[in-house]
Amino acid sequence: MLNAGVLTFQEFAMRETLPLATIHESVLEFLKGRSDVVLFGAQAV
C-alpha cells in the first residue's frame, strides 16, 4: 500500500486520535485470506 501509516495534514492539524490509515490497516488485516470478499477501490485524481 502506498503511504501506509502516514498521517494526512488534516489528521495532524486536528490531532486525530484514530487516523484513516489505521482503519484501512485493520480492515485489510481482517479481510486477508478470506475467499468470500471482494474489495473494490477507486480514487479520483
Alpha-carbon torsion 30, 32, 36, 37, what sign?
A: positive
pLDDT at 3: 60
- What gap in Å lies between CA 45 and CA 14, rounded to an integer? 24
Q: Which residues are within 8 A (CB) of 39 and not within 5 positions of it... i.e. 6 or more apart? A: 28, 31
Segments forming the whole domain that contains residue 7? 1-45
- What gap in Å lies between CA 18 and CA 29, rounded to an integer? 16
pLDDT at 38: 86
The count of domains in the chain is: 1
What pLDDT digit, counting tens, does each position of 1-45 carry? 556 678 888 999 999 899 888 888 898 899 899 999 888 887 666
